[in-house]
A and B are shown apart, each in its own frame.
Chain A
Amino acid sequence: MITRLSRNFMYKVFALLLISFAMPVLADPLKVLRVSIPKAETGFDPERLDDLYSSDICWQIFDTVLDYDYLARPAKLIPGIVREVPAAEQNGRVYTFRVIPGIYFADDPAFKGKRRELVARDIEYSLRRLRDPKLNAPFSWLVENKIVGLDELVEASKRKGKMDYDTPVKGMELLDKYTLRITLKSPDYNFLYAFAFPQTAPVAREVIETYADDTMAHPVGTGPFKLVEWVRKSKIVLERNPNYRGAVLDTRYADMNNEWDREVIKSIGDKKLPLLDRIEIYPVEEEQPRYLSFLNKEVDILDTMHQIYAAQVLKNDKVVPSIAKQGIRVFQEIQPEVTYETFNMENPVVGGYDPQHVALRRAIVMGHNRDQLIQVVYKNFAMVAQSPIPPGVIGYDPTFTAQDQDYNQARAKALLDMFGYVDRDGDGYREQPDGSPLIIQYLNQTGLQYTKYSELWVKSMKNIGIRLVSQQEQFADLLRDQQAGKFMLTDSAWIADYPDAQDFLQLLYGPNSGSANRGRFKLPAYDKLYEQALRLPDSPERNRLYREMCRLILPYAPWRIGVHRAYLHLVQPWVHGFDRHPISHDRYLYLDIDVDAQQAALKK
């Protein structure tokens, strides 16, 4: 009797244990959003940031000086912690920032129990910190060679071996506690974009000095959320920042024809933000578990789904029935990004501006089967790029069409024949006009996705009789060789830092050779237009210059212009307010969750 009873009891305990193991999150009534990102984060110190996903997370913790409107497309600057977007004074040389009083940092032991208000000095400090020689900040270029007196201060600090945070800088005047005036060396109408980067988000000097080397793990900002748990490369947990000043959705720039915008307005409306209590972010680097965990409802948002699964989700622009049945919404986005392969313009085989070498590059470009790249590698989720400028940035011209970048085997072969690149020894591959062997070396990274690019290049070139050898290197070696110009043709992609075509056109600007301009393309006519455009605000006149620059590069083909990739972001039905931003990406500030629906789905 007793044994039977206790056995029964044991079964029940066991069953309870099983249930509690299976659903550990059920007891939680909070609004918890679970997101999966495709790359591991590195840390959350704004000035130290380099990678995309750490930056995106910092955008939830820190307030940037200027921000982007959630709904406006193309992206539009709005005030962040300042009263208004500063006007360009003195032809774009002077900008005045007026900080809103009464914004407080999240509480932290570094403040010794006092509430800490954000002031103009913090902006100034963060800009200096971005140039701290000890930090080697990857985004220091944002304020390099721009602000009067700052570069000189950095040079002096380098000599002293320690960054000078106290000596006043002429170009950064603190007019009062809440006002900072910045003076530039020369007019720059795109300068304000630098303040809509998480990398320039104000940090408190006490926090930085308290945590010294450990700032990556101690982000203290004024933003809507704060970091509460961090299992490195595995789980990042944010919770609502009680000191956050609150925000309301601005619907002025919404596009009412867009279903996503309508959904945002309907579900978020004029509620006080943020609405979420807790955000759990999971970096998952393998594609299979990332995709499966979303279908398993282990996460609520699948950020940037791999294109390989696109056909499982969308067919002929319609969500497939099995996905639609579950209410999953699919956000399709052409990111402000361009993929390209750059030739080394200083290489004796593929470089040069004379007709023979121009012809070789143009033939290689036309021989590369970009159509197949889009169909097979991107599963049709990509758009042919006509110029370096992607849609979604200011200066993009949808009518610009570059025929000479289109895949055309016959034209490529004809061009090679015309300039003496013919097969002389009958091995099926062409030689150079002087009879020496023609071997194109294609340099890219190791990894499954890059292998696909390589395979396509080898195939395409073989089809027009050119021998192409693919060399795949570890990331560090690739960067070294690209920078040192040790390549003939190499793979690259550029994603917008700020929504202006200038960010892309600088990739071919002569003086940027060796850094952003990896192919070392130098065309005086192009450089002249680039410098002219710098001195102009956004205007039809500047757009005309941008278009002309795009036209100038076509005959010389320094690039195989690739595609603008379309990305799919998958959202579970209980997530509301989702509208992927082209520059600031996912903003959890504007999201809401229907907890009942979430829990009901999990129970199933």
Chain B
Amino acid sequence: MNNTNTLTTDLVRHDSAGLWRLAWRRLRQDKVAIASLCVVTIFAVMMIASYMGLIASHWNAEVAPSYAPPSLHAVTNVANTKVVGIANPQAGPPVDISDIDPLAPRYQEWKERTANIAHEQTQHATSLILGADKWGHDILSKTIKGSEVSISVGILAAFLAVVVGTLLGAVGGYFGGVLDDTLEWFYNIFTSIPYILLILAVAAVFSRGFVTIVLILGLTSWTSVYRLVRAEYMKHSERAYVRAAEALGASHTSRMFKHILPNISHVMLVQYSRYVVDAIKAEVILSFLGLGIPVDMVSWGSILAETQEEVVIGKWSQIIAAGGSMAILVTAISMLTDALRDALDPKLNE
């Protein structure tokens, strides 16, 4: 019995593996697809390098004056004028508080220790290809570091959405009946509430953070994959190979995930890469609404949120850097998705 079970599984696997091999062969001939794949790979490498701290690890170091323009040469320190803000011409000598200060007995020690603390000199960048932001951070490093968060948000949120959608869709489509009705009810509720309201609602529940964003985007966008997967499962559960597996005594779980799942994996993959794109774009809107990542992190969304007050004052570096990288990556993923869909579903090709 065990043997036969493996046999059918292998059969199905072989079948789907064939599909993938075929798709890959088609994909290789598509120049646009290959170019897109290269771009995506470059971004992935950049992201991993940044994650491992190989590049852009000092994105939040002050390496230049505020809003330093782009330049290839060393930024010379602007004259460090000590005038800060609006001066008070009538300022008197510091108020003496030694008679009421609990720290007064240790003033002498405090003074000595202060004198011994070395003054740290800030390191200035040797080149700033994209210039600096308001704090004097290197925009190039910031954009690279930002890709790390944006891409991981995309990957994880899409993963969560696909997992949730697939699980619910599989259960509903496979079993049908009351279970399916309940899930359909749930689906109807989620699709009846406007997406943006759902996002705001979920955001209000969790406290701010990276995980929250992934949860918000994942939990609010599982519906379309649910629909597709459910339809596929309804179709497949009646097919001969599933019937055969049933006759051979395969359990429900085994039929659902070992037999049917590989056969619809291409649907999931295409949907997944669409979700990645959606999530990367949605993160920007979340940042605009003040529901983005915490302040000690940086993402393309948080950079773009900053630019709403920078374009008017003529600072274009950040919007070009973050908006541009995002556009390039998202374009590449979208094109790859299209190519992938065409390769997996040759019917659509003219």
Contact = CB atoms under 8 A, between A and B. Distances in A.
Is A in direct contact with B (CB under 8 Å) within the complex?
A: yes
B91 A455 contact: no
A583 interface: no
Contact of A353 (B92, B102, B208): B102
B311 interface: yes
A308 B309 CA distance: 7
Contact of B312 (A288, A378, A398): A288
Contacts of A459: 60, 62, 135
Interface in A520-551: 550-551
A105 interface: no
Interface in A390-420: 398-404, 408-411, 413-415, 417-418
B141 to A, nearest CB: 15
A563 B85 contact: yes
A372 B62 CA distance: 12
Interface in B31-62: 60, 62
Nearest to B207: A471
A472 B117 CA distance: 34
Contacts of A384: 84-85, 88
A376 B97 contact: no
Contacts of A454: 295
A251 interface: no
A380 B87 CA distance: 10
Contacts of A286: 308
B110 A471 contact: no
Contact of A376 (B94, B117, B135): B135
Contact of A403 (B95, B114, B294): B95
A413 B88 CA distance: 28
Contacts of A403: 94-95
Given A380-B86, A404-B97, A417-B113, A399 B91 contact: yes
A165 interface: no
B214 to A, nearest CB: 18
Interface string B84-107: 111110111111010011110010
B222 to A, nearest CB: 25
Interface in B122-140: 134-135
Nearest to A391: B88
Given A353-B102, A375-B84, A472 B95 contact: no
Nearest to A453: B295
A318 B134 CA distance: 23
Contacts of B238: none
A401 B95 contact: yes
Contacts of A380: 84-86
Contacts of B313: 308-309, 311-312
B139 to A, nearest CB: 15
A411 B312 contact: no
Contact of B100 (A362, A415, A552): A552
Given A414-B114, A417-B113, A472-B208, A287 B103 contact: no
B249 interface: no
A446 interface: yes
Contact of A402 (B95, B101, B134, B290): B95
Q: How large is the interface on A (under 10, 10 to 19, 20 to 34, 35 or more residues)?
A: 35 or more
A566 B110 contact: no
A355 interface: yes
A383 B88 contact: yes
Interface residues of B, number: 46
B308 A458 contact: no
A119 interface: no
A551 B308 CA distance: 42
Nearest to B85: A374
B212 to A, nearest CB: 12
Contacts of B87: 383
Interface string A427-451: 0000000000000000000111001
B305 interface: yes
A472 B206 CA distance: 12
A408 B95 CA distance: 17
A400 B95 contact: yes
Contacts of B109: 418
A401 B208 contact: no
A268 interface: no
B134 A376 contact: yes
Nearest to A358: B102
A362 B103 contact: yes
A411 B313 CA distance: 37
15 contacts: A309-B313, A353-B102, A374-B84, A376-B135, A380-B85, A380-B86, A384-B85, A384-B88, A398-B91, A404-B97, A410-B114, A451-B295, A459-B62, A551-B97, A566-B86
Given A312-B313, A398-B90, 14 more contacts: A287-B308, A308-B313, A309-B313, A383-B85, A400-B95, A404-B97, A451-B295, A455-B135, A469-B294, A471-B207, A474-B204, A551-B95, A563-B85, A566-B86
Interface of A: 286-288, 291-292, 306, 308-309, 311-312, 334, 353-355, 358-359, 362, 371-372, 374-376, 378, 380-384, 386, 398-404, 408-411, 413-415, 417-418, 446-448, 451-452, 454-455, 458-459, 463, 469-474, 550-552, 554-556, 563, 566
For the complex of A and B, 8 pairs with smallest distance between CB atoms: A399-B92, A446-B290, A403-B94, A414-B113, A398-B90, A374-B85, A555-B101, A383-B86
